[in-house]
Amino acid sequence: MGISPVLWQFLVKWLHNAALFPSEASTISPWMDAFYLFLIAMTVVGLVLVGALVFGFAIRYRKERNPVATQVEGSTLLEATWTIIPLAIFLMAFVWGALLYYRIYTPPPNSMNIYVVGKQWMWKSEHPGGQHEINALHVPTGTPVQLTIISQDVFHSFSIPDFRVKREAIPGRYTTVWFEATQPGTYHLFCTQYCGTQHSGMIGEVTVLSPTDYQKWLQQSDSGMSLAQNGERLFASMGCNACHSGTAAARGPNLAGVYGSKLTLTDGSQVLVNDAYIRDAILNPSQHVTAGFAPIMPTYKGQISEEGLIDLVEFIKNLQTNYRVQQTQMTSDSDQAAQPTPTAGQSEAVKP
Amino acid sequence: MSAATIVTLPDQATATVPKKNYITSEHGLLSWLLTADHKRIAMLYMISITFFFFIGGAFAGLIRLELLTPQSDLVAADTYNKFFTMHGIVMVFLFLVPSVPATLGNFLIPIMIGAKDLAFPKINLLSWYLYMIGGTLTLSALVLGGVDTGWTFTTPLSTHYLNTHVITAALAIFIAGFSSIFTGLNFIVTLHRMRCPGMTWFRMPLFCWSNYAASLLMVLGTPVLAIAIVLVFLERVFGVGVFDPAKGGDPLLFQHLFWFYSHPAVYIMILPGMGVISEVISTFSRKRVFGYTAVAFSSVAIALFGFFVWEHHMFIMGVSNYSALVFSLLTMLVAVPSAIKIFNWAFTLQKGSITFETPMLYAFGFMGLFTIGGLTGVFLGVLGMDIHLTETYFIVAHFHFVMVGGMLMAFLSGVHFWWPKMTGRMYPESLSKLAAVVTFIGFILTFMPQFILGYLGMPRRYAAYPPEFQVLNVFSTAGATILGVGYMLPMLYLAWSLKYGAVAGNNPWQATGLEWQIQSPPLTENFVETPIMDHEAYDYEWLEKQQTEGAKYIG
């Protein structure tokens, strides 16, 4: 932003108080606002120019003053001018917009991941530690938060205007967006994609807490089971571990450490194992057979909810060694402390 | 005031509307319903689209009334959803798409190029019947209990989650689409094959060029919409998994197909309106359109680029970043021809001899509102800003600036401009100027606040909204009320003028187009003998020479 931070703060505060701008509550907000002001300036200049030309000519060349028109063919020079200058301005806006877009849709590698499931008509947020929220989302300030979003039914869209971020929740496909909140407070959370009867009821609140308050909140809202632990149980109860046992003789590939790796499939293609791949491999296993294995895995379509899939994804993400799989088989104790928020490195491959 | 008008009417004491014309040539309802005359079909269209415009407008009124308060208190959420769906379907498919081409285009294109009729008069009539079937089906969907898909029919909502009359409404659009294809086909063939001797492509009025470009879009784009609708039908009725991810379908595919038509469709709507503006601005500044060739080609350029920008409706939907880049860039390119047009029109005024009759006022309104509408489109076409603004009231305001502020202003400008030609009578000037100003003020008051609401984050299609958005919504509803008055007025005084308006004579505006050289209203065969075009379009010196020599040109 070319202007001094103090002036900027003043301007934005005034615009917010005048109810012209939403509050600036994320690191993206000032960038978006600066770009918005640039585009408004472009519009105003364009409008004033066209207005001045139209009114100027209309007054200067009205019939009373100019009874006879002078015929003019056109002017290549003038026409070139008003082709090239608008084009240049639009291209400038394009580059600026593209940079902002990449910024908003490229989560930093160390961001903490929260899953969001949209369904008619509510938002369900799932923290890795197992905290569940309906139409609410608690996040700390000063930490990049990545949302992995999916819809269970129709298209929804996850929008937090004060953060200037929005991402479509698509049925059957993970999408991601990230933000870093700066101001503690509560902010609107909207579904912006028309999704049926209660579309306008699919709203909620984002609560931004200081990091210490956030830790407190995490502890208060602890459900006793982290997502990965839920996934572990599901993994056992669905019988996944019968094949994916991690032993040498297993009928299914070893899943330990598979997350984030490149996998070679039977058709020779290479895929990156990320959330989307794991989800799809559970639902459409016949299309994702790892090289060296027989296509014997049945589909789990219709048997696991989106939340269950998230649990499994989170479990496989956390699965680094065979030990965990054996543990799943042996133990059912789940009273251990909830999994803390994911550590760096886990979410590096979550890019779409 | 006396010097400030170009209106030249025959002596009202003696003048009469010609006894023999296309309206009086035959009598009885059947003579209208079975006509093959492009002018009569244009009038059939005019009556039907006006009817649907007021239906769509009534729903807009109900929407604004509901949004007067934050709670969903006037109607239930479901009913509100049906309101905006019906508003969208009726306004887009039954009003905006056919508005200028099917009425003014139908009436004027053959005359402007010196032809007796369109190339396929019977197909022209068929297209009106298809339109009426589409319209009737839409109304029946409404009467049977409504439909709440939104005009965008987004899957899987429309295929699996709603049990309203989706198929009826989809069928209506499917059928109305063919009406649009036939109209486009008719125009393309007519403009290629039926131009009179001497009427080269570059002697055609710009209205013909812009309708030609729109026709290309209709013929190439509408079939894709038809296919998308058939796929929705197959999935909804027979469970074929095209879009349903649970059956291996792609949920985004529908939106690709839908916007592949529906983005060019906005150019189908706006291009003919731009043609009207070219005619009106030239006539009331007594000047050839500045840079005729640039304006003509910019229409074609808009049509071409218009096909390659559809993905900008889906930037937040997880499309690949690279394709988003390409589509955003192409979107910037499509903005340029529109800018060229605006500046060319402005410079048409320069050194003109300008008068301010009603069509010109509407044209000025168009230029202001279309400039805002176009530039706010850049906000949505650039990637980063689109994330925050899409699916909010900003986008609602943007497309209403283009479609209502731009297109509807152009349509009203054209209706007033050619009213004397179509009916042989003048509309009342002062009242119509009042209507133009009321419309403009009402429009600004309705849609300006929505830009602010959009940046504040108010989502579109909400029956209820957080209370802090109420003030701006009240402004918007107040504006919509004024706008409604602005649209009722023309309907009333235009109807009045059919009987009581001043007799217009052949050429009240002293305009140069061939349509102004024949009687008003025209004969069924338009011209007594085939005209020969021996001058450029907008040649006011030629017109003056014709008049001083007293030479009767044609008809």
pLDDT above 60: residue A331: no
End-to-end CA distance of chain A, in Å?
30
User: Between B356, B384, B392, which is nearest A100 by CB?
Assistant: B384
Hey, is the C-beta of A201 within 8 angstroms of any chain B C-beta? yes
Q: pLDDT tens digits for B75-107?
A: 999 999 999 999 999 999 999 999 999 999 999
Which chain B positions have a beta carbon within 8 Å of A197's beta carbon?
77-78, 81, 148
Res A263: pLDDT:
86
Domains of chain B and any CATH numbers: 38-549 (1.20.210.10)
The share of chain A scoring above pLDDT 70, in percent, equals 90
Name the minimum distance, in Å, from the CA of B8 to any CA of chain A: 15
Q: What are phi and psi of B424, to 5 degrees?
A: 80, 0
A175 touches chain B (CB under 8 A): yes
- Measured between alpha carbons, how far is B298 from A69 in angstroms, rounded to an integer? 25
Beta strands in chain A (DSSP E): 112-119, 122-126, 132-134, 136-140, 144-151, 156-160, 165-169, 175-180, 185-191, 204-209, 262-264, 270-272
B349 and chain A: CB distance < 8 Å anywhere? yes
When CB atoms are compared, the residue of B321, B355, B390 closest to A105 is B321
Q: Identify the structural domains of chain A with CATH numbers, from first to last.
A: 5-105 (1.10.287.90), 112-220 (2.60.40.420), 227-330 (1.10.760.10)
Contacts of A99 in chain B (CB under 8 A): 384
> Does residue A277 surpass a pLDDT of 50?
yes
Residues of chain B above pLDDT 90, percent? 88
pLDDT category at A335 given cuts 50, 70, 90 is very low
pLDDT, one tens digit per residue, over B366-406 is 999 999 999 999 999 999 999 999 999 999 999 999 999 99
pLDDT digits (tens, 9 = 90+) for A155-188: 999 999 999 999 999 998 999 999 999 999 999 9
**Interface touch B77/A200, C-beta < 8 Å:** yes
For residue A3, the model assigns a pLDDT of 65
- pLDDT-derived band at A329, boundaries 50, 70, 90: very low
User: What pLDDT does B552 receive?
Assistant: 54
Q: Is A351 on the interface with B (CB under 8 A)?
A: no
> How far apart are alpha carbons A129 and A225 in whole angstroms?
7
CA A222 → CA A217, A227, A234, distances in Å?
Answer: 8, 11, 19
- List Cβ<8 Å contacts ≥24 apart for B74-77: B75/B463, B77/A197, B77/A198, B77/A199, B77/A200, B77/A201, B77/B463, B77/B464
More confident residue, A302 or A133: A133
Predicted pLDDT of residue B196: 95
Phi, psi of B312 (to 5 degrees): -65, -5
Candidate from A71, A100, A195 with C-beta closest to B287: A71
- CB atoms under 10 Å from CB of A260, counted, come to 15
pLDDT digits over B245-284, tens only?
Answer: 888 889 899 999 999 999 999 999 999 999 999 999 999 9
Residue B551: predicted pLDDT: 55
Bigger pLDDT: B97 vs A347: B97
Residue A50 has pLDDT above 80, yes or no: yes
Provide block-wise average pLDDT over 10 residues at a time, chain B (555 residues). Answer: 75 89 92 94 96 96 96 92 96 95 96 95 96 96 92 91 91 96 97 95 96 96 95 92 86 94 94 96 95 94 93 93 94 94 95 95 96 96 96 96 94 97 94 96 96 96 95 96 95 95 93 93 93 92 83 51
Residue B404 DSSP code = I
pLDDT in tens, B405-434: 999 999 999 999 999 999 999 999 999 999
DSSP letter at B407 equals: I
- Between A7 and B119, residue with greater pLDDT: B119
Contact call for B4 and A61, based on CB within 8 A? no
Nearest to A50 among B3, B285, B371 (CB): B371
* Chain B closest-CA separation from residue A88 CA (Å): 10
Closest CA of chain B from A35, distance in Å: 7
CB A264 within 8 A of CB A270: yes
Whether residue B343 lies within 8 A of chain A, CB to CB, comes out as yes
Q: What percent of chain A has pLDDT over 90?
A: 57
B466 touches chain A (CB under 8 A): yes
Amino acid residing at A237: S
Decide if pLDDT at A333 tops 60. no
